[in-house]
A and B are shown apart, each in its own frame.
Chain A
Amino acid sequence: MAAIPPLLVWCGLYLYLTRIEKKVREAERRLSPENGSK
């Protein structure tokens, strides 16, 4: 039971990080020269 809180905090923040990184990658893809951006 005592192991749940650290796992929750680190995994929660890690999940949030992956969500933001996905957003960054998506925006970078839309802005990339291969996608027509200059």
Chain B
Amino acid sequence: MDLRGHLENLNNALRALFALLMGVVTVWSFQVPDAVGFQRPELARIFFWHFPCPLLLTGLLFVGSYFSFRHLVRVQGFRVESETDNRERQLWDIRAVAALELGFVFCVLTMITGILFSLVQWGVWWQWDPRQTSFLLAMLVYGAYFALRTAFTDPEKRAANSAAYMLAAVLPLIFLIFVYPRLPQVEQASFHPTQSIMKGQIKGAYAQVVSAVIILTTILSVWLYRLRVRAGTLELLAEDYGQLETHGGHPAPTGVVRPVSLSDPH
């Protein structure tokens, strides 16, 4: 077996090990004793799956914004324009999209698990709790990034405009997710159990399980991010290659013929 085959086997073994760990942690989360102080203590373990999602979402949001910034720095011509710069700029856009796309997946998971928590603990799917409402607004602002990307057909404009949007949106997003729900008058009106987390009431087996879920989802996120960047880079290469094709769908010949000016012998 060649090196490629060995690496593929190793990759499959790692995947299987990871899936096994996911199963073990999931079973473990059902073994810990029920939490006290909740309407339905046995269902408070939704927290294990809800809490890591906004953490990862925030991390990916910052990473994606930083990559967007790096893309824009290149666009603004802070460096000498060259083919390498152009490629580097495209790569920053691919990295930004990879991080922000994955962040949006966690944003959706945060919302759905939050709604489930609301249903089992407060008795309703949606009750316009300030925390829920501000997160819904944050999700809409975040989702607009992807809507904006679909509005441009030119890849350069798409990348530059969406990067500028994300840089403008990141502060309002942080405000909606972290600052607004913690304003004293808002916090008093909200049912969200922020205090139990902030005051260190999550401890013992609960803290261990939630840490394990955070570690596993972080590893999975890094893997998904890297794979998404690889997909984006390959797509970019395939697009570049496609531009060399003739209208008939066949690649252009190796020797490219260009019109040249000839000096008049007379």
Contacts and interface: CB of A to CB of B under 8 A. Distances in A.
A and B assemble together: yes
Interface of A: 1-2, 4-6, 8-10, 12-13, 16-17, 20-21, 23-24, 27-28, 30-31, 36-38
Given A12-B108, A13-B105, A2 B46 contact: yes
Interface string B116-140: 1000100000000000000000000
Contacts of A21: 227
B241 A37 contact: yes
Contacts of B116: 1, 4-5
B235 interface: yes
25 contacts: A2-B30, A4-B116, A5-B48, A5-B49, A6-B26, A6-B49, A8-B113, A12-B105, A12-B108, A13-B105, A13-B217, A13-B224, A16-B102, A17-B224, A20-B224, A20-B227, A20-B228, A23-B231, A24-B230, A24-B234, A27-B237, A31-B241, A36-B245, A36-B250, A38-B251
Contacts of A9: 49, 53, 109, 113, 217
Chain B interface mostly:
helix
B210 to A, nearest CB: 12
A26 B140 CA distance: 30
Nearest to A28: B234
Contact of B105 (A16, A30, A31, A36): A16
B90 interface: no
B231 A24 contact: yes
Contacts of A30: 238, 241-242
Given A4-B116, A13-B224, A36-B250, A27 B234 contact: yes
Interface string B34-68: 00000000110110111001000000000000000
Contacts of A23: 231, 234-235
B29 interface: yes
Contacts of B45: 2
Nearest to B47: A5
A31 B238 contact: yes
A19 B133 CA distance: 30
Contacts of B250: 36
B112 interface: yes
A24 B227 contact: yes
Nearest to B29: A6
A32 to B, nearest CB: 10
A8 B26 CA distance: 12
A21 B49 CA distance: 25
B22 interface: yes
A2 B42 contact: yes
A16 to B, nearest CB: 5
A23 B239 CA distance: 13
